[in-house]
């Protein structure tokens, strides 16, 4: 007997979840952290150092992962084993002496110096980045993130690098912001779970070109280009399977792109049912 449209939809959803769960089980492991900027963050021991280095690593997480790891390690090296404490101890003249010749793709040395000065200023004013984030928490992730971003853009130079560094979460995917939040809020052998006051059920899917292509192939979004709407649409689909932890697939799905397995894995994905 032919299946009804509702039955076919349910079966397609189950096959998609089965494929996703397979990727999750295979790649959401600490053994794959070597291929991610989280590798650097996990090398620090205290919450303060991990929170600070995670934010820096996230803001530089675009481009080739090898370049990202090299750049972030080089930027953090002058801060030693305890970067939070060292950053707070720096004098104004130290910033240019340390990072005056640094750059990375769109980021000039002026942009990078501004970043470290701004991080120091914020950490002198607040207990932690978590406390700065939750002081505006109102169950609306985009609005809260938008207000959090203002802390970093205050008195910022009007450069393209700084605008890119602190993406506006109301105007695009803001992938690096949402990835940082995933690292901070979720807790497993990959994600750090340092923040206890933000529910993981409110996290939004970090979206880049690779994840968008996967989302399109799995029919998790109908959008034509990567966008905030596409990220929200994918997040809502993930919530159908796990409303409490919708973006748990992110690290595993990212491995498909980083490890160049995306196309081969998607070729064998076929949710069609008769």
Q: What is the pLDDT of residues 171-215, one digit of tens each?
A: 999 999 999 999 999 999 999 999 999 999 999 999 999 999 999
Q: Can you tell me whether residue 115 is helix, strand or coil?
A: helix
Distance CA(184)–CA(177), nearest Å, equals: 11
Contacts of 24 (CB under 8 A, 6+ apart): 248, 249, 252
Distance CA(124)–CA(143), nearest Å, equals: 24
Whether the Cβ atoms of residue 24 and residue 142 lie closer than 8 Å to each other:
no
| pLDDT value, residue 9 | 77
Q: Is the pLDDT of residue 267 over 70?
A: yes
CB-count burial class (<10 Å; 0-12, 13-18, 19+) for 173: buried
Whether the Cβ atoms of residue 204 and residue 232 lie closer than 8 Å to each other:
yes
Whether the Cβ atoms of residue 95 and residue 111 lie closer than 8 Å to each other:
no
Which tens digits make up the pLDDT trace of 127-172? 999 999 999 999 999 999 999 999 999 889 999 999 999 999 999 9
b/e per residue, 194-215, with b = 16+ CB within 10 A?
bbeebebebbbbbbbeebbbbb
Q: Is the pLDDT of residue 40 over 50?
A: yes
């Amino acid at each position: 007997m032919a299946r009804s449209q509702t039955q076919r939809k349910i079966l397609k959803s189950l096959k998609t979840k089965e494929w996703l769960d397979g990727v999750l089980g295979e790649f959401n492991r600490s053994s794959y952290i070597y291929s991610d900027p989280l590798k650097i963050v996990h090398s620090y021991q205290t919450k303060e150092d991990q929170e600070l280095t995670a934010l820096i690593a996230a803001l530089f997480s675009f481009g080739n992962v090898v370049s990202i790891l090299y750049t972030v390690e080089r930027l953090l090296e002058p801060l030693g084993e305890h970067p939070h404490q060292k950053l707070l101890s720096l004098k104004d003249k130290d910033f240019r002496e340390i990072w005056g010749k640094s750059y990375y793709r769109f980021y000039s040395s002026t942009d990078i110096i501004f970043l470290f000065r701004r991080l120091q200023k914020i950490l002198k004013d607040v207990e932690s980045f978590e406390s700065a984030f939750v002081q505006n928490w109102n169950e609306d992730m985009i609005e809260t993130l938008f207000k959090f971003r203002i802390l970093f853009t205050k008195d910022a130079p009007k450069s393209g690098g700084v605008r890119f560094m602190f993406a506006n979460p109301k105007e695009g995917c803001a992938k690096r912001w949402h990835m940082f939040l995933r690292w901070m809020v979720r807790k497993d052998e990959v994600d750090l779970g340092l923040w206890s006051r933000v529910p993981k059920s409110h996290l939004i899917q970090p979206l880049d070109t690779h994840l968008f292509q996967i989302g399109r192939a799995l029919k998790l979004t109908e959008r034509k280009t990567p966008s905030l709407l596409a990220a929200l649409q994918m997040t809502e689909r993930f919530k159908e399977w796990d409303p409490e932890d919708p973006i748990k697939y992110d690290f595993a799905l990212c491995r498909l792109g980083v490890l160049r397995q995306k196309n081969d894995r998607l070729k064998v994905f076929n949710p069609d049912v008769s």
